[in-house]
Amino acid sequence: MQFFGGSDISPSPPAPTASGNNAHMMYVFNRNGVCLLYREWNRPLHTLNAQQDHKLMFGLLFSLKSLTAKMDPTSFENHEMCSLDKGNLGVPQLPGQGCSFHSFRTNTYKLSFMETPSGLKIILITHPKTGDLRESLKYIYNLYVEYVVKNPIYTPGAPIRCELFNTSLDQYVRSIS
């Protein structure tokens, strides 16, 4: 698990890979699975109501993470390490523990995922042809630190309602992918 450097926003955001707005939506979850932020830019299909959709998304990420931790082909599973490292399927894992994942791709979308050491999960859903968005997610995390965490009126764990964060996020997301 890599930890992220200083909280100051780097002067130049990562270079965009192509032009145009390819982002579909974005979710931010805290470590308890509460959806702190949901932004939608381009989503023609809704199969569920908002609350069910957030629950399903968090469940998908949770299960995929325990799946990747279990499948990890590079770490040995000895008996005393078994419960510690690879875990059993479905048992929650701490952020940074076990093998995690950073993206998956289907024929209609690509989901990029980042988990911070504090358990905050940032999920960005974009066009399937977008490249690696790990740097972009780190930049969005920096925006979160700058505009949400440093906001004196914001109570940690509450849904994010910061105008400045939303506008800078929209602006940045339009520039990527």
Chain residues in the site for other proteins (CB under 8 A)? 24-25, 42-45, 47-48, 53, 56-57, 59-60, 63-64, 66-68, 70-78, 86, 89, 99-109, 111, 125
In the chain, the N- to C-terminal Cα span, in Å, equals 25
- Order of strands across the sheet with 23-29? 35-40, 23-29, 121-126, 110-115
For other proteins, the closer CB: 42 or 83: 42
For other proteins, the closer CB: 25 or 120: 25
- The nearest distance, CB 94 to other proteins, in angstroms, is 15
- The nearest distance, CB 162 to other proteins, in angstroms, is 24
- Rounded CA separation 35/121 (Å): 9
For other proteins, the closer CB: 100 or 116: 100
Residue appearing with tokens 């997301």: 173
- The nearest distance, CB 17 to other proteins, in angstroms, is 16
For other proteins, the closer CB: 94 or 164: 94
- The nearest distance, CB 4 to other proteins, in angstroms, is 16
- The nearest distance, CB 42 to other proteins, in angstroms, is 7
What are 16's two structure tokens? 């965009």
For other proteins, the closer CB: 68 or 151: 68
Helix axes 134-144, 163-175, angle to 10 degrees: 160
- Rounded CA separation 113/129 (Å): 16
Question: How many whole angstroms from its chain centre is CA 150?
Answer: 20
CA pseudo-torsion sign 146, 147, 148, 150: positive
